A and B are shown apart, each in its own frame.
Chain A
Amino acid sequence: MKRFIERRPVWSLVILIAAAFFLWLVFAIWPDSFEDFLKEDVGGWIGGDFGKQFGRALSRKKVFLSALLDGVTLAALYFLIAAGFTLIFGLMRNVNLAHGSLYLFGGYVGYEFAEWTGYWLLAFPAAFVVSAALGVLLQVLVFRRMEGEDLRQTLVTIGISIVLADVMLWIWGGDFYQILAPSWLSAPVETFLASAQKSSGEIVYLKYSSIRLVILVAAIVLGVAMWLALNRTRVGMLIRAGVDDRDMLSATGIPIQVVFVCVFAFGAGLAGIGGVVGGTFQSLAPGEDTEYLLSSLIVVIVGGMGSIPGAALGALLIGLADTLGAAYFATYAVVFKFLIMVAVLAFRPRGLLGRS
């Protein structure tokens, strides 16, 4: 950090000012002149109906704050899915294109379990265990038999995802399922972020869905725990050693296949938990397996394959691109994450935090 400031003083200043401006945008009450500037001038520069709408959306702090929070909480979901994907790739070089199916399957299992027991929280362990079991099956029956054969693994997992998608369509049909959160979590909660000031001088605070905030906190805790487990424990040391040199690790007498199965199970279980989270946030429906597979692919490509901090950074970027895009450029929102991916690939083919 200090070296960076010493070597690039101008860039450090620019980054500092941008960060300060961002914090001001989030915490301050936007003055009227600033809102007018966004509405009239920025809208006017762009011109046309689109400019008018764009300026209007831009000038409302509530739109900005909700999009920001939506983006960060969506990033939590992306992180859950992408972390498992990137962990499996990093350690085993296995490309599991059935990861999206594990997500959707976990979601459906969680839904059934929550309906059956009546406890939302129980959906998480159920989805984790069932998805992890499916992941173990995949690892033992498919990946272990074709170690080092990238292309065949990819093709086989594409085949498995087609079959699983149709089996799930068979069992659960084409309906939308939503996993209902308990009442104490479903009410919106008042945050400490000011969204506007009434003419009476009273400050209006933004209300935001508490379930999404809880899941955000949970994902952050999980991410930090994963980082600590990977960097501070013996098992984590084994996994990192396996990422660097698998053959050497197995030569030291470590039962590497056991480590593989455990990591695969954990990654698959994370995808299952992601399914429950996604089913609570939004809903579960056929086709979401491909959608979330694509999103997590983009997240890990942007962040760098095999890197957990990379997955977190990628998830944050892609989540924000999704929601900020949807808030301000509704028509072309879906394209933003792809543009980010292309830009990253053009300058850093291995991803932002990937190692060459």
Chain B
Amino acid sequence: MAVTEHPGGETARQGSGFWPSVWNAPASRWGFAAILLLIPAAAGDFWLLQVYGWTFALGIVALSLQFLGGYGGMVSLAQMTIAGFAGYMVAIFGTSSVEHISLGWPWWLNIPAAIFLAVIFGTITGALAVRTEGIYTIMITLAIAAAFFFFVNQDYVLFNGFSGFNSVLPPTLFGVDWREPTAYYYMTLFFAVLAYGVVLYVSRSPFGLALQGVRDNPRRMAALGFNVTAHRIAAYAFASVIAAVGGLLLVWSNAQVSPGTQSIDWVINILIIAVVGGMSRPIGPFIGAFIFVLLENWSETALAWVGLSPERFKLVIGLGFLAIVLWSRDGVLGIWESWRARSRRDPLTGRAPGDDA
């Protein structure tokens, strides 16, 4: 599989409009949405902040990778870097404990500026990355991510070096402290649903369909008169917006941003999240993020239970990732799809319903 021929390769369904598909969603989806809304009534603060909040925030960053990888066939490792960049910008333009650098702009100026600059950064990264294809893209974006990490680690003029910025707080809108667990939960949920919906919408728009055409056969699309490079760069720009929003949420959850926010480990973690969840549909990254956060929080307990030191957390993550990649072509989504296909098949004829051939 060249990267351009993505395994999931699922082209977004055409025919039905976007909104009808939302209103006519099956009852199970509506039930799931109701559960998501009611979770704060039952869950404790730890779950709201460390589990669900992180799942949504990490999921949004991984969603930007899913969009690029799943619909555009470009696996970029710079998405966490763009997220971290947005976090840095919000700390520099807004308020933080590092008063000699932070400019203290109001939130309505600060947040758009941060997202705007992150999009510019992401677009430049994309413009460099699209000069190459497939595996080169991974290596070049990895190198850009590493460069940014090393740079912010060394630079004390703008990025405050190793220690980064503390007390980077979300604005107190509508008199609510958005770092309070329930508020943070709803804020991340809102943005996760928004990002999910926007990605779904864009994937069915003419631009999204053209992008999927570029993924599957760039030469044919070029012959049809589409500007392949422009579509790819535009995909990077769009993914940067999503990554930047995810980055802001991540930074607000810890109230700090430092080089560690986008270290090589975290850059790889975002890839792991997207791949483990599945890259063919935008729900994948959120599934991956949920699994990752659960593992991160409870692997120590589980490891102690089998008699291993809690430091072996990475081993668990690595082995789990390896198992998923080796056995499934599309992460958890792929396993789910193949299980459904198998259970739907008629045991006598071996045919799936609706399979006319």
Taking beta carbons and an 8 Å cutoff, which residues of A are in contact with B?
95, 148-152, 154-156, 158-160, 162-163, 165-167, 169-170, 290, 294, 297-298, 301, 305, 331-332, 334-335, 338, 341-342, 345-346, 349
Contact = CB atoms under 8 A, between A and B. Distances in A.
Contacts of B325: 152, 155-156, 159
A163 B322 contact: yes
Given A297-B139, A297-B142, A151 B3 contact: yes
Secondary structure at chain B's binding surface: helix, strand, loop or mixed?
A: helix
A332 B142 contact: no
Interface string B135-149: 110111011101100
Nearest to B316: A166
Contacts of B128: 342, 345-346
Contacts of A150: 1-3, 134-135
A348 to B, nearest CB: 10
A165 B319 CA distance: 12
24 contacts: A148-B2, A150-B134, A150-B135, A151-B1, A151-B2, A151-B135, A154-B75, A155-B271, A158-B268, A158-B271, A160-B318, A162-B318, A162-B321, A166-B318, A170-B312, A294-B264, A298-B143, A334-B154, A335-B147, A335-B150, A338-B143, A338-B147, A345-B132, A346-B128
B143 A166 contact: no
Contacts of B268: 158, 162
A341 B131 CA distance: 13
Interface string B244-272: 00000000000000000000100010010
A102 B149 CA distance: 24
A155 B143 contact: no
A290 B3 CA distance: 23
A338 B149 CA distance: 11
Nearest to A331: B154
Contacts of B144: 338, 342
B321 A166 contact: no
A148 B1 contact: yes
B140 A294 contact: no
B317 A162 contact: yes
A223 B155 CA distance: 37
Nearest to A339: B147
Interface string B307-322: 0000110110111011
Contact of A294 (B146, B311, B329): B146
A159 B138 contact: no
B241 interface: no
Contacts of B147: 334-335, 338
Contacts of B329: 152
B34 interface: no
Given A151-B135, A159-B325, A297-B139, 15 more contacts: A95-B139, A148-B2, A150-B134, A151-B1, A155-B271, A158-B268, A158-B271, A160-B322, A165-B318, A166-B315, A170-B312, A170-B315, A298-B143, A301-B139, A345-B131
B123 to A, nearest CB: 15
Contacts of A95: 135, 138-139
B93 to A, nearest CB: 23
A152 B150 contact: no
B326 interface: yes
Contacts of A346: 128, 131
A346 B142 CA distance: 16
Residue with the highest number of chain A CB atoms closer than 10 Å, among B144, B151, B321: B321
Contacts of A159: 318-319, 321-322, 325
A159 B151 CA distance: 26
Contacts of B271: 155, 158
A297 B143 contact: yes
Contacts of B1: 148-152
B305 to A, nearest CB: 18
A166 B312 contact: yes
